[in-house]
């Protein structure tokens, strides 16, 4: 048998074994998700075409994303037996292009030490951990145990860090017998380890959320860890936004576009405290010397003057972190986030499953007028799914004008690029609508100079007060005369990349019937230079 064939056979056998194990597991427990009459409608109307959702059950943060041997792996906070947050497992999905995901058997189950909270995974190529046997490269997951009993007893040492290893490329896992590898030092929220290999200092570096700061640790073998430093909560000054608890950090170097210089990026999710309410992810730019993260001076000044360093200004992108073990052709980093918000995630109107991930995005570092900032774009791979194309050019907009209708372009799974000029003093509003008078509005407000998304009339909104009470806004950063935008639509979500991705807004919505029309209006008149819409054919 050819090597590749035998490998396929092993995978099939493993999948069958796991499918059975999974089945047995599911039968053991009474599923808490009832079959509802709405299930079919829900699938047709709300299940995204290509954004990852679990088949059944609750999902939050992406965890342990890595690339190895042609496959991207996504693990995620998962409660398979209920559609609200519950005892956390790590669900698992794989993809060969970061777009089309296939759900795999559950990777990590909760045990007597606790629920399996968020964390990361690394490919231990050099077998520094010693878990690799017979020349197999071990994949190591580093996660948080959250102990419910201790939580109930109101103890501080609820959370600790633990590891597990896989010798079959991330499919099955063995928890380390000496867990935890980092005990709780008396900090209540002490979680979400993100580990990466630091090539310069030849050691593993972990960034960990610790209530309202992050802590850095290092290790040679992923088993014993040494505390290096912390960031974010010096007694003299708190750094960044502290509206709520700090969670899901990430630390990585990124080359600056068009130069040989590299800076370090620190992601910190915060809940609540987001720019438009609830949960969101802020970032810091600076240097990491193997021990300490120091913010860049200019960046720090900008941050203190006006904190607008968010990876996304929409309400629905949280807890995103980067994939490990990939280097992109264009020097960027890849990441995904959870497309929801703790303000209402448990109440969104789907019963079978809850939540989707964002599209995978590439992160770039831009240096503009001596200051650093990040810019984002959907991964290139999305372009290979482009189908039917519609193009409009040089349209003067005064009256509202219909640009696209579902009769000729399926808006529910499409990618739309546009370029608009003369808009700064005029503003514009795109409107997605259906014949139930549901609409989703987004555009630019010339008076307050902000981009906005208004989902107040987008269909089902009454499941939470916080879902649509306020219009989400984002100050424009670029001062280019022309505005470019990329819109990604997938039934119940919109991801907008304004100004080449320097401002991103992601939001979810639940129309009563699919949106069928896209129109554009501007009170005072502007020019739509181009609009190119492509259906995305991803099944
Ligand atoms: C972020 C978070 C993490 C935690 C996980 C629990 O959304 O609160 O800090 O590990 O979710 O599911």
Query: Which among 227, 213, 166, 219 has a CA at the least distance from the CA of 196?
Result: 219
Instruction: Count Cβ atoms within 10 A of the Cβ of residue 64 and give its class: 0-12 exposed, 13-18 middle, 19 or more buried.
Output: buried
Is the domain of 284 the same as that of 141?
A: yes
- Residue 328 DSSP label: -
Pocket test for ligand 1, best of 60, 63, 64, 108 (most atoms within 8 A of CB): 60
The two structure tokens encoding residue 439: 């609409």
Task: State residue 13's pLDDT score.
Answer: 40
Same domain membership, residue 373 and residue 269: yes
Residue bearing tokens 């913010």? 295
For ligand 1, the distance from its centroid to the CA atom of residue 61, given in whole angstroms, is: 7
Are 248 and 334 part of one and the same domain?
A: yes
368 and 425 together in one domain: no
Q: Is residue 224 part of a domain?
A: yes
In this prediction, residue 524 carries a pLDDT of 82
**How many Å apart are CA 226 and CA 224, to the nearest integer?**
7
From the CA of 248, give the closest atom in ligand 1: 9
Looking at the fold, whether 369 and 491 belong to one and the same domain comes out as no
Residues 96 and 217 grouped into a single domain: yes
β-pair partners for 230: 215
Q: Which helix (H) or strand (E) holds 299?
A: helix 297-305
Quick: pLDDT tens for 33-75.
655 557 888 999 999 999 999 999 999 999 999 999 999 999 9
> Looking at ligand 1, which atom is closest to the CA of residue 119?
10
What is the model's pTM? 0.93
DSSP string, 423-470: -TTT-EEEEEE-TTS-EEEEEEETTTTEEEEE-TTSS--TT-HHHHSS
Ligand 1 nearest atom to the CA of residue 209, by list position: 9
Look at residues 342, 357, 378 and tell me which one is the last residue of a structural domain. Answer: 378
Establish if 4 belongs to a structural domain. no
Percent of the chain having pLDDT more than 70? 92
Q: Tell me the residue range of the domain where 437 lies.
A: 386-536
Average pLDDT over every residue of 496-510 = 97
Q: Is residue 13 one of the residues assigned to a domain?
A: no
Distance CA 427, CA 451 (A): 9
Evaluate whether residue 75 is within a structural domain: yes
Any atom of ligand 1 within 6 Å of the Cβ of 88: yes
Positions marked catalytic: 61
Please state the domain count of the chain.
2
Task: Give residue 107 CA to ligand 1 midpoint distance, Å.
Answer: 17
**314 within a domain of the structure (yes/no):** yes
Residues 157 and 216 in one domain: yes
211 and 68, same domain (yes or no): yes
Is the same domain home to 124 and 73?
yes
pLDDT grade, residue 436 (50/70/90)?
very high
Give 368 or 299, the one with higher predicted confidence: 299
Which of 346, 361, 378 is at the close of a domain?
378
Q: What distance in Å separates the CA atoms of residue 387 and residue 402, rounded to the nearest whole number?
A: 21
By most ligand atoms within 8 Å of CB, the mutation choice from 145, 248, 354 for ligand 1 is 248
Mean pLDDT of the chain: 92
Question: 300 and 391: one domain?
Answer: no
- Name residue 372's beta-bridge partners: 367
Six-digit token string for 100: 């089309």
Q: How far is CA 390 from CA 103, 382, 420, in A?
A: 33, 17, 17
Is residue 14 domain-resident? no
**Structure token digits, residue 538:** 């991803």
Q: How far is CA 359 from CA 51, 336, 384, in A?
A: 6, 6, 14
């Amino acid at each position: 048998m050819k090597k590749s064939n035998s490998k396929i056979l092993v995978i099939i056998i493993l999948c069958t074994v796991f499918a059975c194990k999974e089945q047995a597991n599911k039968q053991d427990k009474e599923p808490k998700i009832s079959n509802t009459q709405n299930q079919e409608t829900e699938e047709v109307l709300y299940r995204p075409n290509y954004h990852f959702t679990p088949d059944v059950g609750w999902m939050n943060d992406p965890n342990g994303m890595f690339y190895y041997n042609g496959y991207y792996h996504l693990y995620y906070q998962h409660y398979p037996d209920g559609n609200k947050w519950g005892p956390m497992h790590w669900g698992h999905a794989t993809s060969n292009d970061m777009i089309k995901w296939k759900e795999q058997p559950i990777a990590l189950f909760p045990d007597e030490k606790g629920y399996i909270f968020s964390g990361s995974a690394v490919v231990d190529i050099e077998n520094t951990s010693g878990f690799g046997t017979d020349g197999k490269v071990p994949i190591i997951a580093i996660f948080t145990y959250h102990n419910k009993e201790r939580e109930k007893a109101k103890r501080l040492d609820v959370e600790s860090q633990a590891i597990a290893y896989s010798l079959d490329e991330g499919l099955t896992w063995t928890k380390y017998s000496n867990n935890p590898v980092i005990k709780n030092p008396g900090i209540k929220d002490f979680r979400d380890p993100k580990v990466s290999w630091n090539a310069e200092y030849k050691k593993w570096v972990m960034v960990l959320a610790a209530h309202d700061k992050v802590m850095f640790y290092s290790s040679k073998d992923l088993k014993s860890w040494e505390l290096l430093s912390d960031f974010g909560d010096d007694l003299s000054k708190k750094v960044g936004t502290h509206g709520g608890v700090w969670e899901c950090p990430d630390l990585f170097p990124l080359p600056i576009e068009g130069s040989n210089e590299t800076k370090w990026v620190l992601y910190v999710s915060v809940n609540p405290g987001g720019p438009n309410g609830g949960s969101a992810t802020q970032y810091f730019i600076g240097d990491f010397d193997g021990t300490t993260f120091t913010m860049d001076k200019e960046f720090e000044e900008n941050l203190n003057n006006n904190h607008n360093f968010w990876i996304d200004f929409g309400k629905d992108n949280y807890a995103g972190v980067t994939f490990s073990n990939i280097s992109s052709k264009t020097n960027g980093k890849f990441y995904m986030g959870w497309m929801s918000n703790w303000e209402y995630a448990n109440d969104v109107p789907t019963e079978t499953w809850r939540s989707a991930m964002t599209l995978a995005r590439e992160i770039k570092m831009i240096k503009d007028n001596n200051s650093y900032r990040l810019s984002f774009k959907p991964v290139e791979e999305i372009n290979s799914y482009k189908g039917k194309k519609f193009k409009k050019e040089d349209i003067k907009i005064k009256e509202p004008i219909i640009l696209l209708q579902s009769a000729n372009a399926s808006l529910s799974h499409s990618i739309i690029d546009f370029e608009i000029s003369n808009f700064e003093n005029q503003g514009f509003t795109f409107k997605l609508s259906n014949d139930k008078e549901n609409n989703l509005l987004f555009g630019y407000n010339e008076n307050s100079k902000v981009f906005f998304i208004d989902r107040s009339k987008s269909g089902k909104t009454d499941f939470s007060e916080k879902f649509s009470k306020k219009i989400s806004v984002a100050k424009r950063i670029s001062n280019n005369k022309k505005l470019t935008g990329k819109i990604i639509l997938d039934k119940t979500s919109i991801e907008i990349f304004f100004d080449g991705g320097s401002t991103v807004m992601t939001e979810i919505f639940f129309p009563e019937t699919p949106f069928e029309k896209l129109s554009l209006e501007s009170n005072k008149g502007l020019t739509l230079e181009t609009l190119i819409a492509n259906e995305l054919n991803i099944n």
